[in-house]
Amino acid sequence: MSTFNSQSLETNEGETGDDDPSLGSLIKIDNILNHPEFIPIIVKWTFEEWYTSYLDFKLDNLEKAIDEFKKNIQYDRLPICYVAYIDNIPVGTIGMDYKDTPQSLDHLDKNIPWVIDVFVNKDFRKKGIATFLIKYIIKKAKEMGFKSLYLWTTNQQNIYKKFGWVEIEKITYLDELYSLMLLEF
């Protein structure tokens, strides 16, 4: 588990302090498997946010999505998921997997993982939590020996660009235009 100093945005293990009064306490980030009680909550968030994508994966209801998540998520290899929480309340999630879309992208390097399911609960947005999550997943990717990460987004390019992601192409998926982005480190 990592805690974050909310003012400096450092990602040091075991760091303590509460520098951002708007957060009310420290944000902690940990592997979701250490908090199975949060699984239905975070799957519900992502299911509601990206419902049409779930349909493309043949997951047409929340119960199926939760079961599929529990069956596939791993602790120390991909697919992996992390949860951010404050005072034992989940506030956001992020993960990594080798594929984030059923769409064929054969020209992409299959050994580069995707950042997936970046989501912050609407009640906790605009407080730096997405930044914490992004920094954390980059740190974890490096620890796992990866040198690059992919992601795709319709409208959050600017947050990723400040971490060094670059847009490598535009793709259309389910009638929406996405920026496919790459981070190399």
Domain locations in the chain as residue ranges: 2-146
User: Looking at beta carbons, which pairs linking 69-72 to residues 24 or more positions away fall under 8 Å?
Assistant: 69/39, 69/43, 70/39
pLDDT > 90 fraction of the chain, expressed in percent and rounded = 66
Neighbours of 180 (CB within 10 A): 19
pLDDT band (50, 70, 90) for residue 27: very high
Query: Taking the chain, what is the end-to-end CA distance rounded to the nearest angstrom?
Result: 23
Query: What pLDDT does 50 receive?
Result: 75
Nearest CA-CA partner of 96 in 34, 144, 164, 45: 144
Average pLDDT over residues 2-26: 45
Phi, psi values for residue 48, rounded to 5°:
-70, -35
- Buried-exposed string 38-66: b where 16+ CB fall within 10 A, e elsewhere: bbbbbbebbbeebeebbeeeebeeeeebb
pTM more than 0.85: no
Query: What pLDDT does 26 receive?
Result: 86
In CATH terms, the superfamily for domain 2-146 is Gcn5-related N-acetyltransferase (GNAT) (3.40.630.30)
Average pLDDT over residues 150-168: 96
Average pLDDT over residues 63-68: 90
Query: What pLDDT does 15 receive?
Result: 32
- Look at residue 49 and tell me whether its pLDDT is greater than 80: yes
Query: What pLDDT does 177 receive?
Result: 92
Query: What pLDDT does 17 receive?
Result: 29
pLDDT band (50, 70, 90) for residue 4: low
Joined together, the tokens standing for residue 133 give: 């999550």
Q: What is the tens place of the pLDDT at every residue in 66-125?
A: 998 999 999 999 999 999 999 999 999 999 999 876 566 778 899 999 999 999 999 999
Query: What pLDDT does 137 receive?
Result: 98
- Look at residue 62 and tell me whether its pLDDT is greater than 90: no
Query: What pLDDT does 22 receive?
Result: 53
